[in-house]
Amino acid sequence: MTFHKTLRTADALAEAGLVDPARVPELHAVAARYAVAVTPAMAELIDAEGRQGPIARQFLPDPAELDTRPAESADPIGDFAHAPVEGIVHRYLDRVLLKVTHTCAVYCRFCFRREMVGPDGHGALTGEALEAALGYIAARPEIWEVILTGGDPLVLSPRRIAELMAGLGGIDHVKVVRIHTRVPAVDPHAVTPELVAALQPPPGKAVWVALHANHADELTPAARAACARLIDAGLPMVSQTVLLKGVNDTPQALADLMRAFVETRIRPYYLHHPDLAPGTSHLRPTLEEGRAVVSALRGAVSGLAQPTYVVDLPGGHGKVPAGEAWLQADAAGEPDYASARLPTTNTTAPHPGESRDPDSLSA
């Protein structure tokens, strides 16, 4: 089936044949809490592979999302602990996140910012807020890299992206701009010549594009062509992937995905252990399960296809490798955050093993 518009409600998903109409009432409750958006490209994949396939598990709402576990948090990686001004997260000394929008082309069912994104989320930065964020960056010569995220920055118009790149281009000590996006895979036709031109690096800067994809099926011919338009224009690409139950938590699925990245000229970068976002426990493998899958890649696939498996520590302490030298597993095979060897960040937050009130982070 061919789809022509993004599906944003349980009713629209049922009308498109992607969910059972009998489930619509319970899915309304999920959609009322967490944003839903399934682009035509992803709807076509779901239609082809079925309602329980790896693409469906990523994008179709599930009543299991209403089950919030005690350890889960609205801000599981501690963005608010490192937010000196609106739109900025300054966790590491030499780089900042610049969250220019909280809108996405699709809404992932495991999103760690699911309480912040979507039509009822934090929205886009106003002109005044963006000016303040750029002023914060300009005033700190230690900031070498700016990571555009959100939300998905590539949902912005080419004009707004070009203005943002020009603003960053005027900050001499910023040498690298990295863009985190799903757009080339989930909405490949949005990667237009105008968008590619807007992403061209200002003089003296490098621009990198980090593509978030979790299953080889997402790298369709159209998605690969969209990535080629970026890469051929001089924009190198790396990958980001989240390890998810029923999506890519087997050695074969993960190997297929990493090979697909390399074939597309995308360098595998991070494989994230899922964060403790509300209502996502049904998608989280244990740490020991994740380690076993990653271990199976060693020797089985090229060194070019080996991502770094990482855990983002709660409370804003940053990423650590998922190996035992950095983090132990508890008796259930889950991450024992209290055992973590902390990386060097700007944090003044409590150690992840200490108690904290997650709701206080939004104060």
Looking at the annotation, which residues are catalytic? Answer: 91-92, 95, 104, 108, 111, 113, 275, 312, 319
User: Do 151 and 107 meet the contact criterion of CB atoms below 8 Å apart?
Assistant: no
* C-alpha span between 48 and 33 (Å, rounded): 28
CB-based burial, 116-148: b 16+ in 10 Å, e otherwise: bbbeebbebbeeebbebbbebbbebeebebbbb
Q: Is the peptide bond before 87 cis (omega within 30 degrees of 0)?
A: no
Closest CA to 74 of 312, 358, 363: 358
> Considering Cα of 361, then 214, then 87, then 138, what sign does the dihedral take?
positive
CA distances from 239 to 100, 150, 161, 182, 341 (A): 20, 17, 21, 10, 25
Residue 250, amino acid: T
3-state secondary structure of 99: strand
| Cα radius of gyration rounded to whole Å, the chain | 20
DSSP 8-state class, residue 360: G
Q: What DSSP string describes 40-88?
A: HHHHHHHHHH-TTSHHHHHHS--GGGG---TT--SSTT-TGGG-SSTTE
* C-alpha span between 135 and 164 (Å, rounded): 13
